[in-house]
Structure 1
Amino acid sequence: MIRHAFRMLAIICCVCGQPAYSSYESQAVTPPLSFSQFCIQYPDDCQRQDDRRIRDFRSSIQRWRELAQINSTVNFGIAPSDPPASRRDLEWQIFPERGNCGDYAVTKRHLLLRSGWPSSALLLAEVVIRATGEHHLVLLVREGKAVLVLDNLSPVVTPLVDTLDRYVIVRAESGTDPQHWTREIAAF
């Protein structure tokens, strides 16, 4: 009887101690409702777009500068605001006068897409802020082997690994199709 109880306790510890998903298994999830509504309003931003950057003339330093400039421009160009009760968090807009994290993230993604970056490198990601439990939207940018975070809560572009102590990734756009969202951390 005691042996059976210890086995059950061990199974419970193993099951409850593991994340709800494996970082190595692809698990499609429903995109946020805000994303679906955004795609109705801005359909071009939700389509797959190929890389239109001129690789021969743009060094990695120039790409880093472009990321930093866009991050800074958007962070200072949109006044932070909680959405009005009627709007809630359901409408993401490109470059509103006042906005929330979703507005910042889609505006940065929009500007980078217009600069020629491929959609496969620009992934919207819903995270949970560990300190508060609040859901938050950021833009993940894949540049070479690096994954960078563009966030309205940070004035600098930060490597993803340096943010994992602050954030838990809930879901993100798939790198293969902007319409699909996943929990697949390995894709980053």
Structure 2
Amino acid sequence: MWKLGTPATNVRQSAITRVCVTIAVAACAALGAHPANAFLARPAIFAKLDVVAKAPNGWLRFCADQPKECRPTPDSSDDLQLTPEKLQQLYVINAHVNDRVKYTTDKALYGETERWAMPFDRGDCEDIVLLKRRLLSEAGWPAGALLVTVVQGRAGDVDRHAVLTVRTDRGEMILDNLTPEILFWYETSYRYLLRQSSRDPNVWLAFSMSQPRPEQISSARP
């Protein structure tokens, strides 16, 4: 795990990030096309958001250390057009980060119960989300399409978990370190609590208690 905040560390971190983006994007060209037609034909349903919520403390501390990661960008509110090529790139970068970063608790890394940081080879769910967000941004995805999201765990699990929501014109997909699969938000078994606004990553919104659901879908648990 990188220690953030010093110029030397940030230079090393930036260089490694560029290498990771190059590898991940090159892998897209090397792989055969992901069978995207059925995926793109699924219902385009967007989650309902409600009131402004308090940002997670981990995010606030991360932004104090890495303010450039938290700045709104001009394209923040744009919905990305999801093409088969973009979907393939999403799978490659998601798999790359899931394979590269070994899940490790903040307690084991820092002796703290909660700390968000950009990982190298170890980190917890928030750290993994931050790396996916950065690599996708470096690969050209708009910041407003890459939203850190806090969810409630599976049935019987009261722990909170972080995933990355990718917002596109075809709906909102979930990138999760617990599974290689990429699912639309309504296909997971999570209860959605809050996420970043697509206009400003420092504004967090609570999910509505009443969510739209497509008819006759089978819930695929990640």
Distance 1:180 1:160, change over 3 A: same
Distance 1:170 1:87, change over 3 A: farther
Aligned-pair distance for 1:96? 2.8
Unaligned stretches of 5+ in structure 2? Answer: 1-46, 212-222
Structure 2 matches for 1:121-160, cutoff 5 A?
121-131=145-155, 132-160=157-185
Aligned-pair distance for 1:184? 4.0
Match of 1:70 in 2: 93
Match of 1:161 in 2: 186
Distance 1:175 1:25, change over 3 A: closer
| Counterpart residue identity of residue 134, structure 2 | H
Distance 1:158 1:24, change over 3 A: closer
Match of 1:181 in 2: 204
Distance 1:29 1:137 in 2: 16
Give SS of 2:61's match: helix
Larger radius of gyration between Structure 1 and Structure 2: 1
Give SS of 1:183's match: strand
Aligned-pair distance for 1:24? 5.5
Paired positions, count: 157
| Percent identity for Structure 1 against Structure 2 | 29
Give the counterpart of 1:49 among 73, 77, 91. Answer: 73
Structure 2 matches for 1:73-88, cutoff 5 A?
73-84=96-107, 86-88=110-112
Distance 1:81 1:35, change over 3 A: same
Structure 2 matches for 1:13-52, cutoff 5 A?
26-51=50-75
1:127-157 residue CA offsets vs partner (Å, 9 max, x unmatched):
0113211100000001213100000001121
Aligned-pair distance for 1:161? 1.1
Aligned-pair distance for 1:84? 2.0
TM-score after normalising by structure 1: 0.76
Aligned-pair distance for 1:168? 0.7
Distance 1:129 1:143 in 2: 24
Aligned-pair distance for 1:88? 2.9
Distance 2:72 2:139 in 1: 15
Give the counterpart of 2:132 among 103, 108, 127. Answer: 108
Distance 1:167 1:69 in 2: 23
Give SS of 1:96's match: coil
Match of 1:120 in 2: 144
Aligned-pair distance for 1:77? 0.6
1:155-177 residue CA offsets vs partner (Å, 9 max, x unmatched):
121111101xx211111001111
TM-score after normalising by structure 2: 0.65
Greater CA drift, 92-101 or 145-154: 92-101
Give the counterpart of 2:194 among 159, 171, 176. Answer: 171
Give SS of 2:69's match: helix
Cα contact 2:58–2:114 (8 A) shared by 1: yes
| Counterpart residue identity of residue 95, structure 2 | S
